[in-house]
Amino acid sequence: MEAKSKTTTTETVISIRNVEKSFGDYQVLKGADLDLYKGENLVVLGRSGTGKSVLIKIISGLLTQDAGTVSVLGKEVSQLNAKELLELRLRIGFSFQSSALYDSMTIRQNLEFPLIRNKKNLTKGEINKAVETVLDAVGLMQTINQMPSELSGGQKKRIGIARTLILQPEIMLYDEPTAGLDPITCLEINRLINEVQERYKTSSIVITHDLTCAKEVGNRIAMLLDGQFQRAGTFDEVFDTDDQRVTPFFEYNFIQ
């Protein structure tokens, strides 16, 4: 398995500077700096509880940082009013670790929901076409009338991704896309993330501690250690080190 190479663009779509975030006395982020370039898949690696998910929740405005700045598509997230934040969120897709499908709705209704809420001028035919297009993109057309409870974990993840794609976002945030899935389904999800990058021209941040996923989807890898990004670069650059905080990731993932 070859690691992906860096993209050539240097246009920044997300810029994170000196971000700090604490929960009570526990400081999770201690001055994190990170850039996401247009068109790339950036994988954020780190141990559980190091603030990876907190970081993407700050990017999407679900949480607010205690200090520092987070600029998304040229807009400082914490300075936006409610309306501006809603507008920005239309340009960001967020795939949750738990998939977060609305369990009282069918798959069709789950996919229609963001469209009906945000694109009020669309006809029923246009909505149906958009739903079928994203379902086709994730290869799950047959589930259209099923309930989320009838799907497997991998199918739920894909539908979760499809639901974010329906608004055609410029940025995708994946929170642990392969967590809890079998190895074959993990490979399918990795492939889907790459397909999304190519087909929808998205720039993505992928939060994971799965090195197979990191190697397969990441144009760049950034390691979050002790609340800061300590290492960033291609897969090989990041893991070409004797740093005892980094090498265990490599050893335990059996992909040498």
Partner 1 sequence: MFLELYRVHLFITKFFKEAFTPPFEGKEILKQCYQVGYKSLALISLTGFITGIVFAKQSRPSLAEFGATSWLPSLVGIALFRTLAPLLTALISAGKVGSSIGAELGSMKVTEQIEAMEVSATNPFSYLVVTRVLATTITLPILTFYTAFVGLLGAFLNVTLSESASFSAFVQSFLESITFLDVIASTVKAIIFGFTIGMVGCYQGFNSSKGTEGVGKAANSAVVIGMFLVFMEEVIATQITFMFRT
Give residues in contact with partner 1 (CB under 8 A): 57, 60, 62, 82, 86-87, 89-90, 92, 94, 96-98, 100-104, 113-114, 117-118, 163-164, 167
Name the residue nearer to partner 1 (CB basis): 16 or 165.
165
Decide if 250 contacts 229 (C-beta within 8 A).
Answer: no
Name the residue nearer to partner 1 (CB basis): 124 or 242.
124
The distance of closest approach from Cβ of residue 20 to partner 1 in the complex, given in angstroms and rounded to an integer, is: 22
Name the residue nearer to partner 1 (CB basis): 104 or 256.
104
Name the residue nearer to partner 1 (CB basis): 4 or 52.
52
φ, ψ at 159 (rounded to 5°): -65, -40
Per DSSP, 150 falls in state: G
Per DSSP, 2 falls in state: P
Name the residue nearer to partner 1 (CB basis): 159 or 222.
159
Secondary structure E strands in 10-153: 12-23, 26-37, 41-45, 67-72, 75-76, 92-95
The distance of closest approach from Cβ of residue 113 to partner 1 in the complex, given in angstroms and rounded to an integer, is: 7
Spatial CA neighbour of 87 closest among 112, 121, 122, 60: 60
Q: Containing H/E element for 123?
A: none
The distance of closest approach from Cβ of residue 86 to partner 1 in the complex, given in angstroms and rounded to an integer, is: 5
The distance of closest approach from Cβ of residue 19 to partner 1 in the complex, given in angstroms and rounded to an integer, is: 19
Name the residue nearer to partner 1 (CB basis): 10 or 149.
149
Q: Which residues of 216-241 are buried (b: 16+ CB within 10 A; e: fewer)?
A: bbbbbbbbbeebbbbbbebbeebbee
The distance of closest approach from Cβ of residue 144 to partner 1 in the complex, given in angstroms and rounded to an integer, is: 19
Give a three-class secondary structure readout of 126-138.
HHHHHHHHHHHHC
Return the structure tokens found at 179: 């967590």
The distance of closest approach from Cβ of residue 57 to partner 1 in the complex, given in angstroms and rounded to an integer, is: 8
Q: What share of the chain is helix, strand, coil (3-state, %, to 5)?
A: 40, 25, 35
